[in-house]
Amino acid sequence: MRSKGFILLIFMIIFSFGILGQVDTRMHIGGGDWDFENLVYIDIDDFLVEGETYYPRADSLTSGETGKPEAQAEPSQAENEPAALEEEVHGAESESTLAEGESAPIQESSSEPETPPMEEKKEKKPTIFVHKVHSGETLWDIAQAYGITVDTILSANDLQNPNMIRVGQELHILSVPGVLHRVVVGENLWEIAERYKVSVDEITKANEIRDPGRIQPSDRLYIPGATRLMPRDVLVVNGQLQKAFDWPVRGRISSPFGPRWGKMHNGLDIAVVTGTPVKAAADGKVTFAGMNGGYGILVVLDHGSGVETRYAHNSRLNVKSGQKVDRGQVIAFSGNTGVSTGPHVHFEIRYRNNPVNPQTYLR
C-alpha cells in the first residue's frame, strides 16, 4: 500500500513539472535575458484597450496585483510607470502608421540647450557720428544718408540757418531723434530736465549717468525727444559777468550809467511810452514786486551766482514775489511812477550787490 502511494506521489510530481514547463515556456519565467534593474512591474490585465492605445486603470499599479514583492514596492516609481508604457505604445503606434518607404520624422535632440529667456531690453546711449561736409552736400542729403531729419542735425549742432554749412565743417549726427545739450557752469540735471520738459530719469538712462549730481561743465547730454536746443545763457564765468543779458525794452537811452547831477546813477534809463511790455533780461526768480520809494513800482529778479536785475518806474506789475520767470517773459509794463521825469524804464544789473554798467553786458 505504501509502495502504491509512493509511486502515485512520484507520478504527480512528474505531471506537475510538465505543466510548469509549459507555463514557463509561455511566461518566460526564470528567463536569463531580463534586465532586473529596469523591470517594469505591471499586470497587462489591468490595462484597458481603447482603439490601439492602452490606458491604465486607476487601481492598476499596486504591489499585490503586479506580483512585485511588497518590500520592493515604490509608489513614486509606480506612478511614473503608466506614463512610460503609454509613451512606448505611442511610439510603436506612430512607427506602424508610416507608409512603406516613408522615413520617420527627425526628432530634435533633448540634449540641445534651451533658448534662454529674453532679457529686458536695456536703453543704450545713442551713437554720435561726426560727419565732415563734402563739396555739394546739403543738410537734406546728410539727413537722408543717416536716416534722420534736418531739424535733428540743426539742433545737435546749434545751427540757425540750414543753408549756412561749409565744406570741411564737422557736424555731430545723432543716431536717434533728439538734441545734444552742452552743460555750462552752474547748470544741474534737474534744471536741464525742467527746461526741456523731460524727466531726470529719462536723461540719466539715455546718457548712462550713475550720479545725476556729478555732471560737469562742457559735458554733452543727449536729451531724448527734444526738438530744439534750449541752452542756458551763462551770466558768470570764472567770476566774470558775461555779455549775456537781453534788453528789457527797446528804445532811446535817455540817461546812461554813471555820475549824474552830483551823484551816481546806478542804472540805464530807456525812454519808452507808458504801457510798453518790460521783459526779463535772463531767467530768474522774482524777489520783489511792488512799490519802492523813488523806484516807483519795482521788480527785482535774482538770477543766481550773485546776479540781480532791477526794473523801475513801471505803471503795473505782471508777476509776483517768489515767481520763477524765463528770459523774455513780460514781468511789468512801463510807466512814470516814483522819482521820474517822464515815462521810461530804469534798468540795473548788480553783481554781488554792486551796480555795473548794463550796456557792457547787454547783447
- Comparing CA positions, the residue from 317, 312, 314, 300 lying closest to residue 353 is 300
Residue type, 297: I
Q: Are strands 330-334 and 170-174 parallel, antiparallel or unpaired?
A: unpaired
- Secondary structure of residue 146 in the 3-state scheme: helix
Instruction: Provide the pLDDT for residue 112.
Output: 52
Q: Are 99 and 89 in contact (CB under 8 A)?
A: no
Position of cell 547831477?
A: 261
Domain 128-224: CATH class, spelled out: alpha beta
Question: How far is it, in rounded angstroms, from Cα 324 to Cα 351?
Answer: 19
Comma-separated ranges of CATH 2.70.70.10 domains in the chain: 241-361
Q: Are 55 and 95 in contact (CB under 8 A)?
A: no
Question: How far is it, in rounded angstroms, from Cα 171 to Cα 145?
Answer: 13
Handedness of CA 167, 170, 174, 178 (dihedral sign): negative
Q: What is the mean pLDDT of residues 346-354?
A: 96
- With a cut of 90, say whether residue 154 has pLDDT above it: no
pLDDT band at 3; cut points 50, 70, 90 = low
Q: What is the mean pLDDT of residues 131-149?
A: 87
pLDDT digits (tens, 9 = 90+) for 55-92: 444 444 444 444 444 444 444 454 555 554 455 544 54
pLDDT band at 317; cut points 50, 70, 90 = very high
- With a cut of 50, say whether residue 252 has pLDDT above it: yes
Q: What's this model's pTM, rounded to 2 decimal places?
A: 0.47
Question: How far is it, in rounded angstroms, from Cα 323 to Cα 283?
Answer: 11
Instruction: Provide the pLDDT for residue 16.
Output: 60
How many Å from the N-terminal Cα to the C-terminal Cα in the chain?
Answer: 146
Position of cell 502504491?
A: 4
Q: What is the mean pLDDT of residues 326-343?
A: 95
Instruction: Provide the pLDDT for residue 106.
Output: 45
- Neighbouring-strand partners of residue 223: 179
Question: Which ranges of the chain does DSSP label H, i.e. alpha helix?
Answer: 2-27, 63-66, 75-96, 139-146, 150-157, 189-196, 200-207, 358-361
Instruction: Provide the pLDDT for residue 114.
Output: 57
pLDDT band at 27; cut points 50, 70, 90 = very low
What is the radius of gyration, based on Cα positions, of the chain?
A: 47
Comma-separated ranges of CATH 3.10.350.10 domains in the chain: 128-224
CA angle 316/319/325 to nearest 5° reads: 135
Instruction: Provide the pLDDT for residue 360.
Output: 94
**9 torsion bin: left (phi>0), alpha (psi -120 to 50), beta (else):** alpha
Instruction: Provide the pLDDT for residue 39.
Output: 39
Question: How far is it, in rounded angstroms, from Cα 200 to Cα 206?
Answer: 10
pLDDT digits (tens, 9 = 90+) for 38-62: 434 334 344 344 444 444 444 444 4
- With a cut of 60, say whether residue 169 has pLDDT above it: yes
Average pLDDT of the chain is 75
DSSP 308-329: EEEEEEEEEES--TT-EE-TT-
pLDDT band at 158; cut points 50, 70, 90 = confident
pLDDT band at 149; cut points 50, 70, 90 = confident
Instruction: Provide the pLDDT for residue 35.
Output: 39
Q: Are 297 and 313 in contact (CB under 8 A)?
A: yes
Could you please state the CATH topology (level 3) that the domain comprising 241-361 is classified under: Glucose Permease (Domain IIA) (2.70.70)
Instruction: Provide the pLDDT for residue 15.
Output: 60
Q: What is the mean pLDDT of residues 24-30?
A: 44
Q: Are 307 and 241 in contact (CB under 8 A)?
A: yes
Least confident of 75-89, 146-160, 226-240: 75-89
Position of cell 504591489?
A: 63
- With a cut of 80, say whether residue 205 has pLDDT above it: yes
Q: Are 310 and 346 in contact (CB under 8 A)?
A: yes
Question: How far is it, in rounded angstroms, from Cα 63 to Cα 74?
Answer: 9
pLDDT band at 11; cut points 50, 70, 90 = low
pLDDT band at 311; cut points 50, 70, 90 = very high
